């Protein structure tokens, strides 16, 4: 009979995002509810994406997952399992219960295959793009991009990415922001059920086309402390985090939103650098302390700081903003006209051995987009 069973299939992809206001800390580790709001830029290059194909058939004997071609174990009750349960529930309630003629995909098993087109060794977070692509692909497979749906209506409203962000968030917090392009806020929300902890688009990518991100791979090795474990150590032990959550992030969220809407690079850059600095300060304030930056990271901070000092003296304006996540790699935000200068400056300090094999532990300039 399996020869007769149709296989439904959808492929979706989602890009990496880099936070300017950092997410670090959960108030609910199961639902993944953060202790502060965050804001990121979704990178638009084609070479930094996850692409996921989801298939559903009544003939599949169990739900299976492959990451870059290697099958992974799906742990019952863990993040992926919870995301899929949520998507099945929405399929049943929003589609199958309203239209008895549709196939009962919510009761069938899935085969999911996800690929990153950037090397995992690039040291970039793949969980954000990965869970965003997975959520988008299963949601499309289940017809959820057309909810609320009336069976007799031919009108399909566009996918509500904020609703899907509620699901992606439960896979990996930062994934909720990768469902939108451009400038994206993850509103922490107030409720204990998480229904208001979702991503919203602050501005589309087209709003500020001259803004670019330059990724400097300092070390492509795996980081020492995972984000998931590290942030909860910070929640448990850092006094500084309490004041960051209460006194710092709320005003930064509104200031950086204003800066983005006004395309005010000086404010955008200053807030981005300050928030990266404070994120690494709360890591140092964790007990025992967590170190993500290394000597090369600190040298990049010094170079960008000096470049900005000279530029402010000459023109009154900043030219670049560094930001670092849970590892030593730098992301530098700048506007189009300064990209060449910054690449030349970095190559002066850190000559790239183009003969060496890619993604060894030497300094690499990964991409501009």
Residues that bind ligand 2P0 (CB under 6 A): 19, 22-24, 32, 38, 125, 127, 172-174, 227-228, 325-326
Which of 172, 197 has the CB closer to ligand 2P0?
172
Smallest gap, in angstroms, from Cβ of residue 125 to ligand 2P0?
A: 6
- The CA distance from 120 to 359, in Å, is 10
Of the pair 23, 333, the CB lying nearest ligand 2P0 is at: 23
Nearest to residue 174, comparing CAs of 250, 231, 115, 89? Answer: 231
For strand 199-203 and strand 320-324, is the pairing parallel, antiparallel, or unpaired?
unpaired
State in angstroms the smallest separation of the CB of 18 from ligand 2P0. 7
Q: Which is nearer to ligand 2P0, 22 or 212 (CB)?
A: 22
Nearer to ligand 2P0, 51 or 225 (CB): 225
Pairwise CA distance, residues 178 & 133, whole Å:
8
**Cα Rg of the chain (Å, integer):** 21
CB of 330 to ligand 2P0, least distance (A): 13
Question: HSE of 48 in the Cβ direction (CA atoms, 13 Å)?
Answer: 22
CB nearer to ligand 2P0: pick between 104 and 195: 195
Min CB(228)–ligand 2P0 separation in Å? 4
Return the number of other C-beta atoms located less than 10 Å from residue 119's C-beta.
15
Between residues 173 and 367, which has the closer beta carbon with respect to ligand 2P0? 173
**Minimum CB distance to ligand 2P0, residue 332 (Å):** 16
Q: How far is CA 315 from CA 29, 222, 294, 338, in A?
A: 47, 40, 31, 13
Closest approach of Cβ 174 to ligand 2P0, in Å? 3
In the complex, what is the shortest distance from the CB of residue 262 to ligand 2P0, in angstroms, rounded to a whole number?
A: 23
**Which tokens hold the place of 280?**
């690494």
Q: Which residue lies nearer to ligand 2P0 by CB, 30 or 360?
A: 30
Q: What is the DSSP letter of 1?
A: -
Give the Å distances, CA to CA, from 250 to 27, 40, 140, 203, 240.
Answer: 16, 15, 34, 19, 15
Quick one: 187 or 325, whose CB is closer to ligand 2P0? 325
Give CA separation, 55 vs 107, 108, 245, 311, 314, in Å: 13, 10, 41, 53, 58
Q: How far is the CB of 335 from ligand 2P0 (least distance, A)?
A: 22
DSSP string, 239-306: HHHHHIIIIIHHHHHHHHHHHHHTT-HHHHHHHHHHHHHHHHHHHHHSSS------HHHHHHHHHHHH
CB 197 within 8 A of CB 165: no
Under 8 Å between Cβ of 84 and 63: yes
Measured from the CB atom, the residue of 25 and 143 that comes closer to ligand 2P0 is 25
Q: Please state the closest distance from residue 216 (CB atom) to ligand 2P0, in A.
A: 16
Specify the 3-state DSSP secondary structure of 83: helix
């Amino acid at each position: 009979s399996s020869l007769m069973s149709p296989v439904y299939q959808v492929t979706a992809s989602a890009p990496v995002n880099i936070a300017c206001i950092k997410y670090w800390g959960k108030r609910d580790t199961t639902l993944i509810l953060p202790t502060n709001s965050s804001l990121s830029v979704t990178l638009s290059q084609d070479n930094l994406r996850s692409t996921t194909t989801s298939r559903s058939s009544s003939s599949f004997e169990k739900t299976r997952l492959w990451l870059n071609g290697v099958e992974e174990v799906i742990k019952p009750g863990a993040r992926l399992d919870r995301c899929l349960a949520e998507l099945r529930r929405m399929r049943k309630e929003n589609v199958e219960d309203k239209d008895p003629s549709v196939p009962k995909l919510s009761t069938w098993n899935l085969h999911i295959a996800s690929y990153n087109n950037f090397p995992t060794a690039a040291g970039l977070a793949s969980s954000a793009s990965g869970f965003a692509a997975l959520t988008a692909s299963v949601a499309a497979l289940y017809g959820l991009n057309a909810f609320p749906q009336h069976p007799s209506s031919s009108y399909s409203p566009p996918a509500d990415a904020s609703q899907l962000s509620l699901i992606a968030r439960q896979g990996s917090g930062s994934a909720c922001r990768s469902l939108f392009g451009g400038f994206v806020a993850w509103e922490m929300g107030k409720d204990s059920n998480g229904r208001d902890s979702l991503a919203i688009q602050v501005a589309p990518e087209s709003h500020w086309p001259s803004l670019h991100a330059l990724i400097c791979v300092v070390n492509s090795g795996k980081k020492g402390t995972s984000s998931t474990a590290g942030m909860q150590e910070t929640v448990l032990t850092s006094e500084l985090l309490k004041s960051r959550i209460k006194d710092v992030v709320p005003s930064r969220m509104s200031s950086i939103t204003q800066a983005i809407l006004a395309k005010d690079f000086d404010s955008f850059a200053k807030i981005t650098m300050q928030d990266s600095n404070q994120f690494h300060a709360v890591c140092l304030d964790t007990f025992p302390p967590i170190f993500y930056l290394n000597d090369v990271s600190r040298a990049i901070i010094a170079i960008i700081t000096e470049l900005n000092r000279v530029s402010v003296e000459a023109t009154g304006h900043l030219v670049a903003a560094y930001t670092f996540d849970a590892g030593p790699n730098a992301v530098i935000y700048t506007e189009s006209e300064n990209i060449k200068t910054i690449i030349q400056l970095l190559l002066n300090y850190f000559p790239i051995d183009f003969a060496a094999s890619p993604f060894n532990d030497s300094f690499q300039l990964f991409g501009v987009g």
